[in-house]
A and B are shown apart, each in its own frame.
Chain A
Amino acid sequence: MQGMSLIVKKISQIMAPSIFILGMYVVAHGHLTPGGGFAGGVLIAGCFTLLILAYGSSKERSLVFKEKASLIESGGIFLFLFIALLGLIQGTLFFVNIFSRSNPGVPGALFSSGIIPLCNIAIGVEVAAALFAIFITFAIMRFGEKL
Chain B
Amino acid sequence: MVSALIPLIGLMICGAVIALETKDLLSGIISLGIIGFALTIVFLILQAPDLAIVQIIIETLTLIILIAAVLKTTIKDSIESLKARKVILWVAGLVCVAAFIFASLKAFADISAFGSPVLRMAEYYLSNGVTGTGAVNLVAAIILDFRAYDTLGEATVLFTSVAGVVAVLRKKGRT
Give A residues with C-beta under 8 Å from B: 26, 30-36, 38-39, 42-43, 45-46, 49, 53, 66, 70, 73-74, 77, 80-81, 84, 95, 97, 100, 104-105, 107-108, 112-116, 119-120, 123, 126-127, 130-131, 133-135, 137-142, 144, 147
Contact = CB atoms under 8 A, between A and B. Distances in A.
| 7 nearest CB pairs, A to B | A113-B134, A113-B135, A31-B135, A34-B49, A95-B148, A42-B57, A31-B140
Looking at B143, B149, B155, B169, the one whose CB has the most chain A CB atoms below 10 A away is B155
Looking at B49, B72, B145, the one whose CB has the most chain A CB atoms below 10 A away is B145
Given A42-B58, A130-B158, A30 B69 contact: no
Nearest to B171: A144
Given A134-B162, A141-B69, A119 B57 contact: no
A70 B64 contact: no
B57 to A, nearest CB: 4
A35 B53 contact: yes
Contact of B137 (A31, A74, A133): A31
A77 B134 contact: no
B65 A135 contact: yes
Given A39-B50, A112-B135, A116-B135, 17 more contacts: A30-B140, A31-B135, A31-B136, A31-B137, A31-B144, A49-B61, A73-B159, A100-B134, A107-B136, A113-B140, A114-B134, A116-B133, A116-B144, A133-B162, A135-B68, A141-B169, A144-B174
Contacts of A46: 57, 60-61, 64
Contacts of A105: 134
Contact of A139 (B68, B72, B140, B171): B68
Interface string B152-168: 10011011011001100
Interface of B: 49-50, 53-54, 57-58, 60-61, 64-65, 68-69, 72, 130, 132-137, 139-141, 143-145, 148-149, 151-152, 155-156, 158-159, 161-162, 165-166, 169, 171, 174
Contact of A104 (B69, B134, B141): B134
11 contacts: A34-B53, A36-B137, A49-B61, A77-B155, A81-B152, A97-B133, A100-B133, A113-B135, A116-B144, A130-B159, A140-B169
Contacts of A49: 61, 64-65
A131 B58 CA distance: 10
Nearest to A59: B171
A127 B62 CA distance: 13
A5 B136 CA distance: 45
A134 B166 CA distance: 7
Contact of B152 (A80, A114, A120, A135): A80
Nearest to B166: A137
B47 to A, nearest CB: 11
